[in-house]
Amino acid sequence: MVCVLGISAFYHDSAAALLKDGKIVAAAQEERFTRKKHDSSYPYNAINFVLDYSNVKLSEIDHIVFYEKPFLKFERILETYVAFAPKGFLQFTKSIPIWLKEKLFQKNLLINCLRKHDKNFRNTDKIYFSEHHLSHAASAYFPSPFNEAIVLTADGVGEWATTTVAIAKDNKLEIKKEIHFPHSLGLLYSAFTYYCGFKVNSGEYKLMGLAPYGEPKFYKKICEYLIDVKNDGSFRLDQSYFNYATGLTMTNDKFHNLFGQKPRDPKVDNISQFHMDIAASIQKVTEDIMIKLTSSLKEEYKINNLCLAGGVALNCVANGQILKNKVFENIWIQPAAGDAGGSLGAALAYWYLELKNLRKIDESDSMQGSYLGPDYDQKYIENELKDLEAVFSVLNDEELLEMTSEDLKKGHAIGWFQGRMEFGPRALGARSIIADPRSSSMQKNLNLKVKFRESFRPFAPSILFEDLKNWFNLNVSSPYMLLVATVNENIRNQISKHEESLFGIQKLNVKRSSIPAVTHVDYSSRVQTVHKEKNIKFYKLIKRFKDKTNCPIIVNTSFNIRGEPIVNTPKEAFKCFMGTGLDTLVIGNCFLQKNKQKQSKSNNYKSSFELD
């Protein structure tokens, strides 16, 4: 048995993943254990989890692979300072101490940290360093169902690369092209995220969700001044408008003058039509670049399969456009497309590219639905709930499905906690908040009373795969909620002239379809297809809901509030339940109703987490 441990850390989302003889056994993000969103510290808890779950000690691990090369990153940082000097001194004074104290000595740091898991761990020669984008590419190709693919990765920045193209066949993967820092599609998107007053590295989803409320009025301006996009989709950014290479902000005054406003201060300024138009414009630019890139790659390499990873691959609207473009027969996107997935990619890259192991395609999905995190048995859940003085009943599977689907039908917001936690940013029916999509007040209710977040943010539908075509303009599975499609014409509502003329956030009040809670203002939805073989309990629940209502869809959003990592343990689930507007909580076979709980157990949950 050969065990490979992959680690990503010290940048964005630290995580650990473990392979046993090439099979993905466990993977988890550190934030879920430390309860610190996007925690980038050494993933002590995540490593402990993957080791415990796999029943191996660290000293028994054969290879440990870190997801990027610190020296190469340091080279990029130094060369950037040299290229921009004397600009960037302030950033230099902030970042160099961190590098000199810690990051440059990452191998030693890793060794010291690893020894905390197992004192017998001595063989430091088994630590290897992959490359950031190679890790992303490996995470996108090796778990995919293809034996040949074009692999496109795009994110903020790794070592030097910000966008890479790799060609993969069987157990080989070779990077063919790269676009280097500071020219980055991810950083361009993040610059606009910052400009619209959202947090960089976490608010990008908000910008994407805001885009349909606006018109792409600034599209031409962006293309004319900020970015030069060639026909093949390669691009260069005009650095005179940006500040990220040398400063402590993403954009500079020249950028602000170009659009005529200062960056939005989220504490003071409301989101206006201007910000919606900005969001719509940068979203269109991103989609256009991704379309150009993928079309030119297809033309050049003539391969029908596309794999995507990197933070930009989480832009499911752009992914939906690539699919709609119909250039590729098949698309597969790594569900943990961000840096957390780098841990998995690093381990897979080592297994196939260094150890040269043969690759057998797992038809049933080697990512196992991305349910790779911790789970808790029924006894543990009951003991935890008893300790918390929760009032609950233990039901059999049949009763549980009946009661839960009945509550869904009543319009209750339900915390659904089952089996192994998801790896990646999306809740896929293991740590989800679920609700009835037919309710016109559900989106506002969930956003404001349960998630405590902005009312404009959309929710995603989980639909039985076999019913997909009847409800959405999508004919492929989307088990990882990474594709956006529009709702079918036949379920759309007639919109009056007055409703049509509404602008911005007012659009939210229009009931656009028979499933308004998951229909965005442009009729789009970020679809998750639910498959019997991947998550049987979740499948059965939706099926039961369909039997009662004729609707094979439920709202599915992550089990957390804004700024909080998705809940991991039953205790965290109960706390979230008691501190939010959730009506029902289902953990394993335990069924909890809010009105039966002790009042003293409610808490001021909202203040526990920072705004993101």
Partner 1 sequence: MSFIKEFFEFLKVRKKYWLLPIILILTLFGGLIVLTQGSIVAPFIYTVF
Q: Check binding of 112 to partner 1 (CB under 8 A).
A: no
Residue with tokens 């191998």: 107
DSSP state of 262: P
Between CA 610 and CA 526 the distance in angstroms is 26
Residues 6+ apart with CB under 8 A from 466: none
The residue (of 124 and 509) whose beta carbon lies closer to partner 1 is: 124
Task: Report in angstroms how near the CB of residue 100 gets to partner 1 at its nearest.
Answer: 5
Identify the DSSP state of 395: -
Counting contacts by CB under 8 A, is residue 383 touching partner 1? no
Please identify which residue in 23, 59, 101, 112 interacts with partner 1, judged by CB under 8 A: 101
Range 467-486, binding partner 1 (CB under 8 A): none
Is position 81 an interface residue for partner 1 (rule: CB under 8 A)?
yes
C-beta of 512: minimal distance to partner 1 in Å?
Answer: 55
- How far apart are alpha carbons 135 and 66 in whole angstroms? 9
* Planar angle of CA 357, 171, 133, nearest 5 degrees: 110
The residue range among 98-106, 298-306, 391-399, 402-410 that interacts with partner 1, by the rule CB under 8 A, is 98-106
CA distances from residue 542 to 163, 466, 475 in whole angstroms, order as listed? 39, 12, 19
Q: Which of 41, 60, 105, 292 binds partner 1 (CB under 8 A)?
A: 105
DSSP 442-511: HHHHIIIIIS---TT---EEEEEGGGHHHHBS--S--TTS-EEEEBPGGGBPP--HHHHT--GGGGGGS-
- Please select the residue that binds partner 1; options are 21, 23, 71, 466, rule is CB under 8 A: 71
Segment near partner 1 (CB under 8 A); pick from 95-103, 339-347, 357-365, 554-562: 95-103
* Nearest partner of 527 among 476, 463, 466, judged by Cα: 463
Q: Which is nearer to partner 1, 80 or 281 (CB)?
A: 80
| Shortest Å distance, C-beta 106 to partner 1 | 10
* Number of residues lying near partner 1 (CB under 8 A): 18
Which residue carries 């409800």 as its tokens? Answer: 471
Residue 125 or 489: the one with the smaller Cβ distance to partner 1 is 125
Bridge partner list, 528: 462
Question: Does residue 97 bind partner 1 (CB under 8 A)?
Answer: yes
Of 99, 128, 225, 609, the residue at the interface with partner 1 (CB under 8 A) is 99
**Among 2, 78, 90, 391, interactor with partner 1 by CB under 8 A:** 78
- The pair of three-digit structure tokens given for residue 205, joined into one six-digit string: 């989803």
Report the distance separating Cα 151 and Cα 133, nearest Å: 10
Per-residue x/- track, 555-574, partner 1 (CB under 8 A): --------------------
Q: Is the Cβ of residue 15 or residue 157 nearer to partner 1 in the bound state?
A: 157
Residue 100 binds to partner 1 (criterion: CB under 8 A): yes
User: What DSSP state is assigned to residue 198?
Assistant: -
In contact, 94 and 248? CB cutoff 8 Å = yes
Q: Which two tokens stand for residue 392?
A: 């609950």
The span of 14-22, 105-113, 291-299, 311-319 binding partner 1 (CB under 8 A) equals 105-113
Could you say whether residue 125 binds partner 1 (CB under 8 A)? Answer: no
Binding site for partner 1 (CB under 8 A): 71-72, 75, 78-79, 81-82, 92-93, 96-97, 99-101, 104-105, 107-108
